[in-house]
């Protein structure tokens, strides 16, 4: 395959855009819509592409009076454009090297680099890996759009029966998902069968709440169907796929933020719909990076993230100030992975960081990872998300050291600063510990009565390694004393791991000790809940390691 430079690639996409615009010349609304979507994407402003902005900036709707529940112009025209593009590349554009597509569930156009051989029409619908063009800078074409702003020229002669049908569903006179508690978050349902069912129900007069019941009670796949094929799909080389690791602060639009490990978190991108929220109360516990939870995206919203073929690990971050039950659902590529999800119930209360991890996540056949957040008893909210390189069928190890900064061990593995804990105290003085090739891991401790909630994928079993050293009691410690001066228990999800554990008796003072536990089962909330309970004096730990046992 011939390599194409970024600048040459951008020129090719622009040339393809002009060809398509010329082919759409007799459809001025579609021309205006496609040019707007493409230019926003070329400028790296795909985050500004949403139903409201399309209605205002492309179709001249009023900023003060436009209501998407009553005016489906953006959804209708996106539906028409999607269909026109599909038809174009099955006919006159079938030999083109580049295909422009508008994926279902998205307003962001993607540019697909085709193979040198023209693909079968059916294959072009299901198999290419598509990626939005996000970075090539370009000045917005300033062609006048008077014909768009003149509503008299938006006549129905240019609408097909299917478009009018969509208007009926989206308008005030028909069954409307937003009025029934489901805000519209995609211009076209990913499952066309359900779109047809909803339209039919509207015509038959079936009530909105009956429709919602049918939707919520339809069969769904389990979480282990997130990636039915974890091997890399045989798709064309992606163009401008997201750089991995990808870390996003939802609802945030400022400069990148550096976390406690030195990792960079960027502003919100790849999203559609939803609103933004800002934390008003105090800081969040169970995290070394509370700033990740200061912002959020809420409402019915989605993310469509362009990814190279492969396996990824998805991390979702939640925290809420509310104490009331507020359940919602989250879907990955059409597969529900969180249903009736209540942040408080999952985290154990308000203002507690809640992280959920899902292994074996892969892009869908269109080259995008689709994340949909859907209202239930309450409205969804997300604070941050991360996509990391994945290990097929296995979660990456979690390693935590009870110190404020990362530690690199003798194997070059980086241990994360202390996180996921509540209560206890951090030792500030450093001491030297014997009996280990990694004394830096043991030179501090968390002590007292404390707990950790370590996030893991619910489908696996885990090995837990606890790293200890007696830093206070004993002949070499500053507290003196003898065996029996420190006794404590350790529990995991209610099961006793250590009882009457005497660290000094085990190894003396300033000497490393590890305790390993196998086949630990996560809680239904995807956690290893570790409780360190004092019996005599304080419980203690210096480092924690969690390893997925999956083969």
Please give the average per-residue pLDDT across 253-276, as a whole number. 93
Q: What is the pLDDT of residue 26?
A: 81
Q: Would you state the pLDDT for residue 304?
A: 93
Give the model confidence (pLDDT) of 231-244 as tens digits: 444 545 456 789 99
First to last CA, the chain: 35
Query: Which one has a higher pLDDT value, 33 or 160?
Result: 33
Does the pLDDT of residue 93 top 70, yes or no? yes
Which residue(s) pair with 448 in the sheet? 539
Mean pLDDT score across all residues of the chain: 79
What pLDDT score was predicted for residue 483? Answer: 86
Q: What is the pLDDT of residue 425?
A: 96
Given a cut of 60, whether residue 199 has pLDDT beyond it is no
For the chain, give the percent of residues with pLDDT over 70: 74
Confidence of residue 495 (pLDDT cuts 50, 70, 90): very high
pLDDT for the residue numbered 500: 96
Residue 207 pLDDT exceeds 60 = no
Provide mean pLDDT across the span 40-46: 80
At CA 385, angle to CA 374 and CA 320, rounded to 5? Answer: 65
145: pLDDT strictly greater than 70: no
Least confident of 100-109, 258-267, 395-404: 100-109
Mean pLDDT across 332-337: 93
Sign of CA dihedral 414, 419, 420, 422: positive
Fold equal for 223-389 and 398-548: yes
Give the gyration radius of the chain's Cα atoms.
Answer: 27
Tokens of 94: 């079938």
- Beta-bridged to residue 453, according to DSSP, are 529
Peptide bond into 93 cis (omega under 30): no
Least confident of 62-76, 123-137, 350-364: 123-137
CA distance 278 to 301: 17
Which DSSP string do the residues of 462-524 spell out, in sequence order?
EEEEEEEEB-SSBTTSTTB--TTS-EEEEEETTEEEEEEE-HHHHH-BTBEEEEEEEEEPPPT
Give the Å distances, CA to CA, from 212 to 192, 206, 550: 16, 10, 38
pLDDT digit string (tens) for 357-374? Answer: 999 999 998 899 999 999
With cut-offs at 50, 70 and 90, classify the pLDDT of residue 81: very high
Contacts of residues 89-98 at CB distance under 8 Å and 24 or more positions apart, as own/partner, are 89/124, 90/121, 90/124, 92/23, 93/19, 93/20, 93/23, 94/118, 94/121, 94/124, 96/16, 96/19, 97/12, 97/16, 98/12, 98/13, 98/16
Helix (H, G, I), strand (E, B) or coil at 406: coil
Span of 204-208, 217-221, 361-365, 368-372 with lowest mean pLDDT: 217-221
pLDDT per residue as tens digits for the range 502-511: 999 998 999 9
If you average pLDDT over residues 492-511, what whole number do you get? 94
- Spell 411-445 as b/e; 16+ CB within 10 A means b: eeeebbbbbbbeebeebeeebebeebebbbbbbbb
What is the reported pLDDT for 215?
Answer: 37
- Once rounded to an integer, what is the mean pLDDT over residues 314-322? 92
- pLDDT at position 218: 39
Task: State which fold the 223-389 domain adopts.
Answer: Jelly Rolls (2.60.120)
* Nearest alpha-carbon partner for 503 in 532, 524, 530, 525: 532
Residue 136 has pLDDT above 70, yes or no: no
Token pair 């064309």 in the structure block, residue: 236
- Please state the rounded mean pLDDT for residues 413-437: 94
Sorted by where each begins, the domain ranges of the chain are: 6-166, 223-389, 398-548
CATH class of 398-548: mainly beta
CA angle 318, 323, 324 (to 5 degrees): 100
Asked whether the predicted pLDDT for residue 395 surpasses 50, the reply is yes
């Amino acid at each position: 395959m011939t390599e194409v430079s970024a600048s040459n690639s951008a020129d090719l996409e622009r040339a393809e855009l002009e060809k398509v615009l010329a082919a759409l010349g007799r459809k001025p609304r579609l021309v205006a819509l496609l040019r707007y979507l493409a230019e926003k994407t070329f400028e790296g402003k795909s985050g500004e592409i949403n139903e409201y902005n399309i209605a205002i900036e492309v179709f001249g709707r009023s900023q003060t009076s436009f209501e998407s529940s009553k005016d489906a112009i953006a959804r209708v025209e996106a539906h028409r454009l999607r269909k026109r593009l599909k038809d174009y590349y099955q006919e006159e554009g079938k030999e083109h090297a580049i295909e422009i597509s508008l994926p279902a569930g998205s307003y962001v156009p993607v540019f697909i680099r085709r193979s040198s051989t023209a693909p079968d029409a059916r294959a072009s619908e299901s198999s290419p890996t598509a990626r939005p063009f996000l970075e090539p800078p370009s000045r917005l074409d300033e062609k006048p759009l008077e014909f768009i702003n003149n509503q008299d020229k938006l006549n129905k002669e240019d609408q097909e029966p299917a478009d009018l049908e969509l208007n009926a569903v989206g308008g005030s006179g028909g069954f409307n998902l937003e009025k029934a508690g489901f805000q519209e978050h995609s211009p076209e349902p990913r499952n066309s069968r359900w779109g047809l069912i909803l339209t039919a129900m509207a015509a038959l007069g079936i009530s909105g709440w009956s429709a919602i019941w049918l939707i919520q009670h339809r069969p769904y796949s389990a979480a282990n169907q997130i990636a039915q094929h974890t091997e890399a799909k045989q798709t064309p080389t992606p163009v401008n796929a997201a750089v991995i690791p990808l870390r996003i602060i939802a609802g945030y639009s400022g400069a990148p933020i550096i976390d406690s490990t030195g990792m960079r978190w960027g502003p919100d991108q790849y999203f559609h719909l939803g609103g933004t929220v800002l934390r008003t109360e105090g800081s969040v516990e169970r995290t070394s990076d509370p700033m990740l939870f200061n912002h959020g995206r809420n409402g019915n919203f989605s993310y469509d993230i362009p990814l190279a073929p492969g396996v990824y690990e998805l991390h979702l971050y939640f925290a809420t100030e509310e104490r009331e039950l507020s359940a919602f659902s989250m879907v990955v590529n059409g597969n529900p992975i969180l249903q009736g999800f209540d942040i408080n119930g999952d985290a154990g209360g308000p203002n507690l960081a809640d992280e959920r991890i899902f292994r074996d996540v892969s892009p869908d056949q269109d080259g995008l990872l689709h994340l949909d957040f859907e209202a239930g008893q309450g409205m969804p909210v997300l604070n941050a998300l991360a996509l990391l390189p994945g290990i097929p069928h296995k979660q990456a190890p979690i390693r935590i050291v009870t110190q404020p900064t990362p530690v690199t061990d003798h194997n070059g593995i980086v241990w994360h600063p202390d996180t996921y804990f509540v209560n206890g105290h951090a030792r500030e003085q450093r001491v030297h510990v014997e009996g280990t090739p990694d004394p830096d891991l043991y030179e501090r401790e968390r002590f007292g009565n404390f707990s950790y909630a370590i996030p893991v994928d619910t489908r696996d079993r885990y090995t837990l390694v606890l790293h200890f050293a007696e830093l206070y009691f004993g002949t070499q410690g500053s507290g003196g004393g003898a065996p029996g001066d420190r006794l404590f228990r350790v529990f995991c999800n209610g099961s006793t791991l250590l009882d009457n554990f005497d660290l000094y008796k085990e190894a003396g003072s300033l000497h490393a000790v590890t305790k390993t536990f196998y086949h630990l089962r996560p809680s239904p909330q995807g956690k290893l809940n570790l409780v360190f309970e004092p019996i005599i004096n304080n419980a203690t730990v210096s480092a924690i390691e969690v390893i997925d046992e999956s083969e």
